[in-house]
Amino acid sequence: MVLRNAVHKDLYADSVALMRAAARLAEPPGVETISLVMGTPANRDVLARSGLLTTPGHDAGPNDLLVAVRGEPDAVDTALALVVDALSGPGEGPGAGPKAGADAGPPVRSLVGAPAGASLALISTPGPYAAAEALKALRLGMHAFVFSDHVPIEQEVLLKREAARRGLLVMGPDCGTAVIGGIPLGFANEVRAGCVGLVGASGTGLQQVSSLLHSMGSGVSHVIGTGSRDVSAEVGGPTMRAGLDALAADPVTEIIVLVSKPPAPHVAEQLLRHAGASGKPVVACFLGMDGTVPAPAGVTLAPTLLEAARAAASLAVGGTLPPGEELPKLPAPAPPRRLLRALYAGGTFAHEAALLLGPALGDIARTAPPPVPGAAPRLPDRHLVLDLGDDEFTAGRPHPMIDPTVRTEYLRTALADPRSAAVVLDVVIGHGAAPDPAAALAEALSEAPVDTPPVIAFVVGTDDDPQGLTAQQRILRDAGAYVVDSSTTAARVCAELLCAGVDLMLAPGSAATSTAASASASASASRIGETA
Amino acid sequence: MTAQAAPAQGLLTGVPRVVNVGVDAFAGPPRAAGATVTAVDWRPPAYGDPELGAGLARLVAHPAVEAANAEALERILGVVPLWTDVRPAGELIPELAQERLLLHAGPPIEWQRMCGPMRAAVVGAALLEGWAATASDAEALAGAGAIRFAPCHHHDTVGPMAGVISASMPLLVVEDEATGLRAYSNLNEGQGRCLRYGALGDDVMMRLRWMGERLGPALRAAIGSLAEPVNLRSVTAQALQMGDECHSRNTAASALLTRELSAALARHAELGGIEALDFLRDNNYWFLNFSMAASKLALLAGHGVPHSTVVTAFARNGVDVGIRVSGLGDSWFTAPAAPVDGLYFAGYGPADANPDIGDSAITEMHGLGGFALAAAPAIVGFVGGTPEGARRVSQEMATLTVGRHRDYRLPGLDFVGSPVGLDIRKVVDTGLEPVITTGIAHREPGIGQIGAGLTHAPMRCFTDALSAFDVPPEPGE
């Protein structure tokens, strides 16, 4: 067993690319541990504490790639020799940039070097650097889409103030998705062009609503993400307001949909007022907002993502929609099966589920002990609605929409847990998502014991996405899952299964209009038809 | 900028032209959907210091800084460097004659910290001036604090390698009529065993004495007899078309300059004109000191523009290197001298090399040397590169400057102007260290040149300078 370090001068790769490369390089037998990090003091310190730092790693600088490998000598040498290649695989590392041909000129190394006329910066650097890059973009006259998270909120406030001053838009930080004039940014789905414009503080929520619009035969003009904190009291919703204004002025957009977890109350009030003055019909889906807030004329409040999509689609086609799909009939769980295990990759879906199921199920745990390497995850003795995209589950590894490893572990545990009465899974496809996300889940399902709880799954995306909606749904169905059309429907199915006879509350303050026995997507559709 | 402009102007009206910064894979989908996507080969700016990176962002496209840099560039390009005279240093810089003062290359340094070649050059100069009879006496004198040291740059002077200048050494004078500015450099000793590389011995001392007694006066008479002074900008511009980059390769420029003077030198045979011609015939580095003085003159003109981030000096003393910035007064921002990556004369290797030394990198700050590498295929071979690599260096350096030279053009890049006006913002933003072509001195005193190659101006100089830079107030803030 040997430990070796290597330093590649001035070779930068983002941490996602480094983690993917490290995972590939760790596969061959004989490699015990491999770490690829940029040689920052903090990273060197981490390696030192793990006993992985040696010469020449001590001397690595922050712009140098530092590689540490422990294992059998031959395997270690092989891994070291493959590092640069592993980083320059398709879509990885600096090699993924423009081809450095004889006449291509040197690669552009900063936003300042971008060609004249560039209009939008797509920023996904590590969080501590993202606000500076966004500020550069604004100063250079570009709009900014900031995918990066971990940006201090006061920097977000300053950025958005600067953007307003310059008549520019900052989408994010922590903005997952946007589609501008048919151009997908970040995690986005291939949705039909149409007349519905979306602005949202929830990336997966926007993906769900835009994909549902597509499946309902409608389409979108633009999808504008605002970043998850835009509608908080501190930030005050400037991007959602500016996005609304932009869509109101956009000739292609006829209907506007707002999607968010609940904004701060005064922000919600302002936004609704603003929406009422937009001159276009607006559907506002502020998941969990106090239902007593009156909506101005022209604004429809939708309590769920599915209802938001149906309301907008019905406005778009100018009539009522055909009823939604029938809920699958699931066998009632037998004791000791009594607990919900909802394992989400999309945080908004977890939020929506907790909201819809909370009144019916009562106590729901929203966290679980984070994974410990080498041990099976532990699940609480309560209903569980888990957001596996949360920081504590993504430390040091990619989001579950890219890397299914962590969620698969929780899924295996949930399937083997005799207390589990229902398991819920979301599968988000489209650009940025894993190439075949259903496959890893299906594998876990097929390997599960014979007596397992029912698995309810939904796929967010369209058939035009690289992974294909129908294909992903089929994989899950073939593995024994009940596949439904949306996050909202999945939550409804669970409600019916786990608390038959209890009314499912759709939004606080609104009387549930259907009994659990008859709760179905079609029932909700008719209600939306009334309010629209 | 109005307080509240139209929302998201232009965002939704056309296909966005995207710049991708960060995860490379994000460039794919928008590109596949038909958007123009520029992928930035990004790394954390400011050497990974988020706070300095945030300060840098506030200087990007800053109107006051852009205007100041445009002004600095205009001043630099406006200088017409005329070679007007050659006179003993003590006559041009009176302090040299009034006290035991020696000028040296690079930022300030005291005797105790000087590297081997610079110590040797100090000894040689002390012997030349008759301050000491032996090398050990000279060292004792310096060690006792009996010799004062000052950077050449503090006297508008530049000296290659050790850059040690004493009162009796002849200096060439370069002047700009419009501004009245002057800059100086010493005369080039040729190749091989030279004081500037730290070589000592009778041969070195004899040549230095001859340069003061014969070469200087002959040149002075020759230049004085010309109808007009020699325009060094024209010589440099021509030499760039002839394979020089006017830092490490000066073959064409030296020949052009010698041709200019040869008849006049021959007419002053009694002063040493013919000896001078014999000396110049063999000296392929002759023009280097002229290139340096002309560059120093241009950058002097560009120095002192408030809010300008243009580098107006880069100099190395063999231990530290330092930069000066137009808008940051006379401060030096220093870092340890970098090693030189190069080719060595037979019998020597990297272990023998002194770190980067000399004021000659002033030429890079003026768009020559490494910045003009695309003009000099021959030197690329010498440093182990290819013409393709040389073009790439010049292209990369152009991403770090505020503009291009109007007269200095690069044949290898379709005669585009050479990049001028190194901008500390761009260096810190891109993480690209400026490329310098340079000679390599032996680290021990008394040996001399052992090779030549490429080196880089260390990032630390630029991050420290940027840290010292105040963000000017902005309209509307």
Q: How far is Cα B134 from Cα B150, in angstroms, rounded to an integer? A: 23
Look at chain A and count its residues: 532
Give residue-wise pLDDT tens across range A206-256: 999 999 999 999 999 999 999 999 999 999 999 999 999 999 999 999 999
pTM exceeds 0.95 for this model: no
Which residues from B are below 8 Å from A97, CB to CB?
24, 27, 39-41
User: Which of A359, A362, A371 has its CA nearest to residue A339?
Assistant: A362
10-residue averages of pLDDT along chain A (532 residues): 89 75 82 86 82 89 88 90 76 39 74 94 95 98 95 96 96 95 95 97 96 96 97 97 96 97 92 96 92 86 96 90 82 90 95 92 90 85 94 79 89 95 97 93 90 95 97 97 96 88 43 33 32 32
Asked if A226 and B7 touch (Cβ cutoff 8 Å), the reply is no
Which residues from A are below 8 Å from B10, CB to CB?
119
CA dihedral B411, B412, B415, B420 (to 10 degrees): -110
Give residue-wise pLDDT tens across range A119-134: 999 999 999 999 999 9
CB pairs under 8 A between A and B: 243
Q: What pLDDT does B384 receive?
A: 57
Chain A, 498 to 527: residues with Cβ < 8 Å from chain B are: none
A10 interfacial to chain B (CB closer than 8 Å):
yes
Please give the distance of CA A29 from its chain centroid, rounded to a whole number. 34
User: Which of A34, A79, A17 has its CA nearest to residue A403?
Assistant: A17
The phi and psi torsions of B300 (rounded to 5 degrees) equal: -60, -45
Which tokens in the block code for residue B52? 């300095």
Task: Say if residue B255's pLDDT is above 50.
Answer: yes
Q: What pLDDT does B400 receive?
A: 97
Residue with tokens 């971990």: A150
Q: How far is Cα A225 from Cα A268, in angstroms, rounded to an integer? A: 17
DSSP secondary structure of A211-233: HHHHHTT--EEEEEE--TTTTST
DSSP secondary structure of A457-472: EEEES-TTSSS-HHHH
- Min Cα distance A148 → chain B (Å) is 9
Identify the closest residue of chain B to A135 by CA–CA distance. B57
Instruction: Tell me: ipTM over 0.85.
Output: yes
DSSP secondary structure of A93-128: SGGGSS---TTT-SPP-SGGGSPTT--EEEE-S-HH
- Min Cα distance B58 → chain A (Å) is 7
Please give the distance of CA B314 from its chain centroid, rounded to a whole number. 6
Q: How far is Cα A213 from Cα A215, in angstroms, rounded to an integer? A: 5
Angle at A448 between CA A444 and CA A449, to 5 degrees: 175
Q: Residues 6 or more apart from A416 whose CB is under 8 A from it?
A: A448, A449
Domain residue ranges in chain B? 13-42, 67-73+306-467, 77-292
Asked if B451 and B342 touch (Cβ cutoff 8 Å), the reply is yes
- Min Cα distance B415 → chain A (Å) is 14
Considering the four listed CATH numbers 3.90.1700.10, 3.30.365.10, 1.10.10.10, 3.40.50.300, the one that applies to the domain covering B67-73+306-467 is 3.90.1700.10
DSSP secondary structure of A266-302: HHHHHHHHHHHTSSS-EEEEETT--TTSPPPTTEEE-
Q: What is the mean pLDDT of chain B?
A: 94
B77-292, what's its fold? Enterococcus faecalis V583 fold (3.90.1710)
A432 interfacial to chain B (CB closer than 8 Å):
yes
Domains and CATH numbers, chain A: 2-96 (3.30.70), 116-317 (3.40.50.261), 339-499 (3.40.50.261)
The phi and psi torsions of B20 (rounded to 5 degrees) equal: -100, 125
Q: How far is Cα A52 from Cα A524, in angstroms, rounded to an integer? A: 58
Q: What pLDDT does A399 receive?
A: 83
Please compute the mean of the pLDDT values over residues B26-43 and round it to a whole number.
95
Orientation of helix B251-267 relative to helix B216-225, angle to 10°: 80
Residue with tokens 């789905």: A189
Asked if B456 and B372 touch (Cβ cutoff 8 Å), the reply is no
- Min Cα distance A395 → chain B (Å) is 17
Going by their DSSP bridges, the two strands A420-428 and B435-441 should be labelled as unpaired
Q: Report the amino acid identity of residue A213.
A: L
Q: What pLDDT does B464 receive?
A: 98
How far, in Å, are A159, A501, B23, B245 from residue A151 at the CA level? 11, 45, 16, 46
